[in-house]
């Protein structure tokens, strides 16, 4: 299997800290060879007892994606062997972002009115259309990780993640 090197940028737009914790945001995945960003939008529930558990150890089974979309369509979240390694990578990236969010968070946002929500939606649409970095924008909390797998199972996970980002290849998973 050829080498794959990915850059995964996780943006948290919504974090609800009541059980189950609920997170909404996006993953921007860049294959470093092709330099083409792919976007996934997500909603994830986390079934941990408290915020401190996020910082102690990574428990992938505590995270459950309820919605996942690539740039073209919803990704079916039925248990599929080929999809599981990709979901594991996304859960790991989300966990790393949440750790940083808890360590470096600003005052939490308690209320968003309709005007602010409309502005947020407009900024997110620009982000999706342009796929550009959000320089000096306060849209959400963003953390990036690089993933350069060496082991065959990790390479397979990276390959599966690239497939779910691409609609045409996504059809081949079924």
Answer yes or no: are the C-beta atoms of 64 and 44 closer than 8 Å: yes
**pLDDT value for 169:** 47
pLDDT digits (tens, 9 = 90+) for 94-148: 999 999 888 876 655 444 555 555 666 666 666 666 655 544 455 566 777 788 8
Which of 16-20, 48-52, 87-91, 110-114 is predicted with the least confidence, judged by mean pLDDT? 110-114
169 or 105, higher pLDDT: 105
How deeply is 120 buried, as exposed, middle or buried, from its count of CB atoms within 10 A (0-12, 13-18, 19+)? middle
What whole-number distance in Å separates Cα of residue 12 and Cα of residue 172? 29
- 63 phi and psi angles, rounded to 5 deg: -100, 135
- What is the count of structural domains for the chain? 1
Q: Which domain holds residue 55?
A: 6-171
Examine residue 1 and state whether it is found in any structural domain, yes or no: no
**pLDDT value for 64:** 94
17 pLDDT band (50/70/90 cuts)?
A: confident
Answer yes or no: are the C-beta atoms of 70 and 36 closer than 8 Å: no
What whole-number distance in Å separates Cα of residue 89 and Cα of residue 95? 10
Answer yes or no: are the C-beta atoms of 151 and 79 closer than 8 Å: no
What whole-number distance in Å separates Cα of residue 39 and Cα of residue 47? 25
Answer yes or no: are the C-beta atoms of 96 and 145 closer than 8 Å: yes
Phi-psi region of 89 (alpha: psi -120 to 50; beta: other; left: phi over 0): alpha
How deeply is 166 buried, as exposed, middle or buried, from its count of CB atoms within 10 A (0-12, 13-18, 19+)? middle
Classify 113 as helix, strand or coil: coil
């Amino acid at each position: 299997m050829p080498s794959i090197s990915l850059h995964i940028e996780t943006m948290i737009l919504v974090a609800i800290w009541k059980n189950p914790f609920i997170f909404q945001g996006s993953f921007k995945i860049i294959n470093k060879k092709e330099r083409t960003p792919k976007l996934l939008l997500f909603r994830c529930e986390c079934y941990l007892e408290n915020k401190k558990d996020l910082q102690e150890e990574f428990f992938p089974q505590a995270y459950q994606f309820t919605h996942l979309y690539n740039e073209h369509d919803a990704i079916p979240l039925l248990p599929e062997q080929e999809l599981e390694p990709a979901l594991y990578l996304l859960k790991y990236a989300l966990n790393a972002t949440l750790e940083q969010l808890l360590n470096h968070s600003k005052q939490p946002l308690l209320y968003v009115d309709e005007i602010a929500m409309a502005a947020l939606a407009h900024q997110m649409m620009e982000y999706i259309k342009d796929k550009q970095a959000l320089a000096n924008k306060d849209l959400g909390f963003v953390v990036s990780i690089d993933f350069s797998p060496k082991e065959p199972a990790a390479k397979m996970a990276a390959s599966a993640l690239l497939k779910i980002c691409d609609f045409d290849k996504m059809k081949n998973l079924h």
